[in-house]
Structure 1
Amino acid sequence: MDNSTENFAPYACIPEQSRGRLHDEPESATRSCFQRDRDRIIHAAAFRRLQYKTQVFVNHEGDFFRTRLTHSLEVSQIARSIAQNMGLNQYLAETLALAHDMGHTPFGHAGEFELEELMAPYGGFDHNAQSLRVVTNLEHRYADFDGLNLTWETLEGVVKHNGPLTGFDGAAPLPWAIVEYAKLQDLELSTYASAEAQIAAVADDVAYNNHDIDDGLRAGLFSINDIRQVDFVGRTFAEVEKLYPDLDFSRTVHEVVRRTIGLMVEDILAESRARLADAKPITVDDVRGYGAALVGFSAEMAKNDRELKEFLFPNMYRHYKLNRMTSKARRVVKDLFELFLREPETLPTEWQAGAGAPGDEITARVVADYIAGMTDRYALDEHRRLFDLQARTSEFTLG
């Protein structure tokens, strides 16, 4: 079922030692508990909707660019490869990579930042917390429970893959969704997550940095000569051009991205093995309680990563073309939120059932859940239906 238990490192998450699920269920005869979690995520409606949610470019900008779904698949491939090479549970790492963006809003970070501002008076909004809310509450598929009833280890990784949430100086107030779930199950928010969750987090970094190079170049937001100023990427371009002087633009970009991903993964493996050798964890709880991440980049690669982000921020994420898209996206989210909050009777019937009075906190949370679950195109369609006086407000079936 799982990658063979005898090949696991002693500090791996072993399926037979899982802390289980909130709602007891018989074990699967054909899959480990983490494989089952992965399959539940893949079959979830929220996962399918990632196909039409922005990574950087709004979905209708072009079919070639990454979406949240293709990004999640790339993260899962990288995470699975790292986990397998480190003797860790590749299925748990894959599961966490696939689940990590399930709570993301339409329009990428533009939608997220707008919802954060709008929800500030009502307990806040955070896409990691929303991912937890999706998999524990908002998916309505099973007869016996709301959510997906995932294992403790998967839920821990969804919430803590970027590190502890409490128990250290400067810790931000917990998002409402995490506070609410903590009343049902203790996810040990003051500790680090498993090594598999830490792998999913760093694989996310590897994937989005590299596919943003690819998408940014192909969109013409910057040129190869521009990105050469990032020394790590510039050296890779120089190597590829020396080996393949007549290679066309598309293949050159792919070859560079392929090589930079490989270099980052090799660095993670070497650095993480060194950290683990120094820390000497015996169990997965030793990993959680170590007090620092045991999976990550070396200091040199972390510097390369920062330099790449420092290039991409002004040259891609704050490019005027994306600023225009971001501005439009934030207006759409704000318009929808304010209308639904003020007039909850305009929500679809199934969402009205959970709403409270106009303008209150219960209604705000229902509205945030509804908007966060939208795809880019659905949000645009809803906005058109509600704010374009010439548009049909509903799609009625004639019979």
Structure 2
Amino acid sequence: MGGTAQAFQTGCGQIGRAAYAEQPGVSRGRVVPESDSPTRTPFQRDRDRIVHSAAFRRLKHKTQVFVPYEGDHFRTRLTHTIEVSQIARALARAFRLDEDLTEAVALVHDFGHTPFGHAGERALDRRMQAYGGFEHNAQSLRIVTTLESRYADFDGLNLAFETLEGLVKHNGPLTGPNAAKSHPVPRPILDFDASFPLGLDRFADLEAQCAAISDDIAYNTHDLDDGLRAGLINLCDIEELDLAGSIFRDVRERYPGLDHSRTVHEIMRRHITRLVEDVIGTTNAELERAAPQSADAVRDAGRQLVRFSETMERAVTQTRHFLFRKVYRCESVMRVMCEAERVVEALFDRFVERPELMPRDWALGVGDLADDKLARRIADYLSGMTDTYAIAEYQRLFDAVPQLR
């Protein structure tokens, strides 16, 4: 890194990073080499590119759990992402990591999500089975390396190695003995790794691990919040939960006359605090045992170092199962999600039949594409849609309004 940038980072950047944190002055670089910035570290530049991207803006109108028709006070992918980044940055500060890199990974982690959340992903994955399937994390990588077309010198955002690694591996290695064996590595990730190796058999750095566990903290809390506000669960329901139930009893005892809205908020803010404090205490103990002296030592530690205690992990798992039963798989949500899947499948099928119906930039040259290339282009187009745009496209192509209520 050049002298001017180095001086700026020393004088104005984050002070006191731990030895096991990523050091921006020795970043492993980008696919397309760029000169140093005199005012920003590589990870600050990545964060800024992510925030200014079209994919980031589209998160505003993408479903988290509830589609837009159901009210504008529920979380969207954008508000979820902002909550994740806030929690992740707090953890990074506690462990003396690079906060900008942590924030960048948190902000980009959901770029590949389709319209209508996991319902859209399921629909696209079914239609793409013959062509390598569809997976939102792999799609996030495609967006930041290929599909964003803003810069004169390269496709995508040309993010640093550390940000790309965190995006791909924040939940752990994808290959090797420590990989989760339930799913094969998506083809887009393998293809990119062949030209720009990301070390798929190693763990990610602590910055990415903080982003990953912050995602768990955020959705375990705010999906409870949204479920309560939607009337799918009641306060008495959460008493069966070890974590939320104990917090509810504490709040009720301390504030016996508190109204429902403030009670819910008080529970949720304490829910996040307890989870964060548990991660900090548990991870500090893990770091003391492992004593990593570099980010590479973290990658080779053989396990995720940023984690919940065993007791809290059981509580988080219990909450996740509760949410599946009471919220994600309840009849009213499932009815809407089944209709959303049908909408996405219908759009995919229509564009396969008549790809020229896509907008001009997407339809350009489709007549010369092999079936797999055409299917991937359609998946790229559909996955980038917001909920509202997908509904509008469905109305345009089928002269019908999907029943997403």
Moved over 4 A (4+): 1-6, 356-359
| Residue 32 (structure 1) aligned with residue 41 (structure 2) | yes
| 1:252 corresponds to which of 234, 244, 263 | 263
Superimposed CA distance per residue, residues 245-277 of structure 1 (whole angstroms, 9 cap, x where no aligned partner): 111111110110000100000000011111111
1:349 pairs, out of 347, 356, 360, with 360
Q: 1:224 is paired with a residue of what secondary structure?
A: coil
Contact in 2 for aligned 1:341/1:358 (Cα 8 Å): no
Q: Distance in 1 between matches of 2:370 and 2:149?
A: 26
* Alignment-derived partner of residue 5 in structure 2: none
**CA spacing shift, 1:352–1:89, aligned 2, 3 Å:** same
1:162 aligns with 2:171: yes
d(CA) in 1 for partners of 2:286, 2:139? 32
Supply the AA of the counterpart residue of 2:248: F
Alpha-carbon spacing, 1:359–1:388, altered in 2? closer, same or farther (3 Å): farther
Residue among 151, 162, 187 paired with 1:153: 162
Number of equivalent positions: 390
Give the distance between the partners of 2:331 and 2:46, measured in 1 at CA. Answer: 41
Question: Which stretch of the first structure deviates more once superposed, 170-179 or 69-78?
Answer: 170-179
1:320 aligned onto 2:325 = no
- Distance in structure 2 (CA, Å) of the matches to 1:45 and 1:149: 15
Pairing 1:77-96 to 2, within 5 Å after superposition: 77-96=86-105
Deviations 1:186-238 (A, max 9, x none): 01111000000000000000000100111000000010001111121111001
Residue 303 of structure 1 and its aligned partner are, at CA, apart by 0.4
Matches within 5 A, 1:89-128: 89-128=98-137
Amino acid at match of 1:193: A
Measured in 1, the distance between the counterparts of 2:223 and 2:182 equals 30
- How big is the shift at 1:183? 2.6
Question: How far, CA to CA, are the matches of 1:38 and 1:382 in structure 2?
Answer: 31
Per the alignment, residue 291 of structure 1 pairs with 302
Structure 2: state its 5+ residue gaps: 1-7
Q: Per-residue CA shift, 1:349-397, capped at 9, x if unaligned?
A: 111225356881111000000000000010010001001179xxxxxxx
Q: How far is 1:171 from its partner?
A: 6.0
Against the structure 1 CA distance between its residues 172 and 323, is the aligned structure 2 distance closer, same or farther, given a 3 Å change threshold? closer
Contact 1:192 1:287 in 2 (8 A): yes
Q: 1:342 deviation in Å?
A: 2.1
Aligned match of 2:4 = none
**1:350-365 superposed matches below 5 A:** 350-353=361-364, 355=366, 360-365=371-376
State how far apart, in whole Å, the 2-side matches of 1:155 and 1:274 are: 28
User: How far has the Cα of 1:345 moved from its partner?
Assistant: 1.6
Cα distance, 1:164–1:213 mapped onto 2, change above 3 Å: same
Q: In structure 1, what residue type is equivalent to 2:371? A: D
Question: Given that residues 344 and 358 in structure 1 are in contact (C-alpha distance below 8 angstroms), is that contact kept between their aligned partners in structure 2?
Answer: no
Tell me if 1:241 matches 2:241.
no
Match in the other structure for 2:383: 372
Distance 2:393 2:13 in 1: 48
* Unmatched 5+ stretches in structure 1: 391-399
Say if 2:181 is the partner of 1:179.
no
